[in-house]
Structure formats: C-alpha cells, structure tokens
Homo-oligomer: A and B are copies of this chain.
Amino acid sequence: MGNSFGQAFRIHTFGESHGGAVGVVIDGCPAGHRIDLAYVQEWLDRRRPGQSHLASPRAEADQVECLSGLVDGISLGTPITLVVRNKDMKQDHYADLQDVYRPSHADYTYDKKYGAKAPSGGGRASARETIGRVAAAAVAEQILKALCPSLEVVGFVDRVKDVQADISPIYTRTQVEAHPLRCPDLKAQGPMEKLIIDAKKAGDSVGGTIYCVVRSCPVGLGEPVFDKLEADLAKAMMSLPASKGFEIGLGFASTQLYGSEHNDSFIKVDDRVRTATNRSGGIQGGISNGEDITMRVAFKPVATIFKDQQTVDRQGQELVMKPKAGRHDPCVLPRAVPMVEAMALLCVTDHYLRQLPFEKARGPHTI
C-alpha cells in the first residue's frame, strides 16, 4: 500500500524501475478540461535523466502514453492513466550487486519487508518512480491554470552543499530552466557546478536544498487539524527519494527569533487583508492566507558513489563493495526541482479541489 496521494485529486503511481512500465492513474480530475499531453511530455523531459553533463546518462525517451480518461484531449471526469515504458534496462550493470545491500539504499529494508532481492536499480525506491508524480502534476497544473489562473509554482536549487543561492529575487520558471543546474542565481551557478563536477570526478556525491514557492494561492486551502496545508506539503516532500528535511516559511531559522521579530502584522492593501511580512510562509493555523507559500526541502548526497564501501550481502556476509562506474547523478538537485514542484502542485490542486465545496456549502450564519 502507500502508493496513493491526495483526496480530491488522487493519484495512484505504479511501476518498478526495471519492470515493463511506470505510470499513474489520476482519479478526481474534473471533467471538461483540455489536457495537453505535449505539456505532460515537457514535464517528463525536465525530470528525465541524461539532460546534461550534470545528470545520470541513463537514456530513456520517457515517452508518455494516455490509456484512459481523455477523449480528443478533453477530460471525461474518469480516471486518467498515463504510462511510460521502461526501455533501457541494463540489468547487467547491476548483476554483481544482486545480492549486496548497498549502503544507505533501500536494498536491505525492501528485502526484509518484501523478501525481494536487492532490486537492480532500486525498484520502487528509484527516482524513476517519480515519473508518475510528475506526469500527474503536469495534468494538475493545467487544471489549476483553468480554475485559478494566477497561481504558479516555481522551485529552484537553493543550495548545493555549502554554496547558497540568493533567494530574494522573484524568479520565473523560465529563468530556472535556463541553466541545467536549475539555479537561477547567476553568481551561484559556477561554484555549484564546480562542486558537482568535482564530486563526480572523485566518485562522490553532494546534496543540498530546493526552495519552492506557490504564488497567488487562494486563501483557505488546508484542513485542520491533521491535514494542515504545511503538514500535507511536508508529507509530500518527505516522500520524495533522498529528501531528509522540510521547512515552511522561515522554518528552522524562525526558532532563532523572538515572537515580536517573527510575527507577521496584518495590514490592508487595496481592500485586501495581507501581512506586512511573510515569515509564516503563507500558512497560518494550517490554512493558506493568500501570501506566497514558501518552503525548503533538504536532499542528502545520493547514496550511489564510486568508492569502496563496507557492507553486508543477502547471505549475511560482510564484504567490501567495489562499484563499477554506473549511471547515477552525482547530485540529485537539478532533477529534484521538477519533483518538488510536482509535489507542491499535487498538494495544492488536491486542497484546492477539496476546498471548492466550502464556498457553496457555507451557510448564511457567522458567529
């Protein structure tokens, strides 16, 4: 279980890294919307490995096919099934790792839970599983564009190891996509790139953080007390492979301030209640307040490295793993940008569609 996400816009992902296909069933997509599969393909291309010298050279076309839910590009209100065939299954790459528990991978825990041998390439724990999420998010974004046109989600690489980008400008997705690093801060790009290339040369890997903002989110998304918007965003992000931390608004930095320094005063701007500052990150009491929703996700340095490592095999024998060169990213961050955006979009779309009934269901009384 655990392969479904969302309530009103609910997705079910399926597929192993090295099985026949990966994909998603989207349940709850409203009827009557035009869904452009070419746009879904654009998203998949952003997520796809082999985009640049910074990423894994695995050569997958990742061509999306729609099996159900659309007629002439229009949503029927029935489940939309999107599938991507797996093609480049170089299982021999992993042949000598079949029985070895790779350190900080899911091999050992999957084996203990499911009795499945070290899944070549990672099985459901592989980043390839995120294809279904990204495809679904590309549909979600089209729905949101129709229902709530001003809303937009932009993520970017915020930090690689200790090289921090300037997050203060209002970056567009076009700016982010202009460089394969997906860091729109021109000054940070050089040092970040050097870190990654040096790590690659050393057979090592680096981590960092992604910053993501949801702009023009309507007031009122989020359902206290357990389905607070930030709680669902946290779950969404922490379900991504290699993510290790999440924060909303000022997050951990907020703990260094006094309340009087952290509180966001309410002000009135053009007849609308807004906040003078946005340290809360656009959510108060678990409900969006109309300001930018800002969050940060931490990604560990990926576990696949090309150095000798101490480990144990399936038979319980200790050994030193001496990996041959494979095709993994030395840094997951650039490809994690569309994944983070995807989860933010899925989460916001889900809450947006949950919220719609409230407006009509609301009775005449206030107290």
Contact = CB atoms under 8 A, between A and B. Distances in A.
B219 A228 contact: no
A93 interface: no
A95 interface: no
A266 B310 contact: yes
Interface in A233-280: 233-239, 241, 244-252, 254-268, 271, 273, 275-276, 279-280
A292 interface: no
Nearest to A362: B32
A124 interface: yes
Contacts of A250: 244, 300
Given A3-B27, A19-B71, A241-B285, 14 more contacts: A21-B67, A22-B68, A31-B116, A103-B265, A104-B264, A105-B284, A147-B361, A199-B258, A226-B235, A259-B304, A265-B311, A268-B312, A353-B357, A356-B356
A194 interface: no
A175 interface: no
A204 B72 CA distance: 34
Interface residues of A, number: 161
A224 interface: yes
Instruction: Please name the 3 residue pairs, one residue from A and one from B, whose CB atoms are nearest each other, closest first.
Output: A106-B285, A2-B223, A2-B227
Contacts of A266: 101, 103, 108, 310-312, 318
A238 B244 contact: no
Contacts of A104: 259, 262-264, 279-280, 284
Contact of A31 (B34, B115, B208): B115
Interface stretch (A10-18, A54-62, A166-174, A178-186): A10-18
Given A260-B307, A318-B267, A21 B231 contact: no
Contacts of A363: 30-34, 75, 146-147
17 contacts: A2-B27, A16-B71, A20-B65, A23-B67, A30-B362, A31-B115, A32-B365, A67-B83, A76-B123, A78-B124, A103-B263, A109-B220, A109-B284, A205-B260, A235-B238, A238-B246, A258-B305
Interface in A15-66: 15-16, 19-23, 25, 27-28, 30-34, 65-66
A325 interface: no
Nearest to A308: B260
Nearest to A146: B363
A91 B120 CA distance: 44
Nearest to A351: B2
A158 to B, nearest CB: 10
B247 A245 contact: yes
A8 interface: yes
B81 A23 contact: yes
A289 B110 CA distance: 10
A49 B107 CA distance: 44
A129 interface: yes
A184 B233 CA distance: 32
A244 B247 contact: yes
Nearest to A142: B363
A21 B25 CA distance: 13
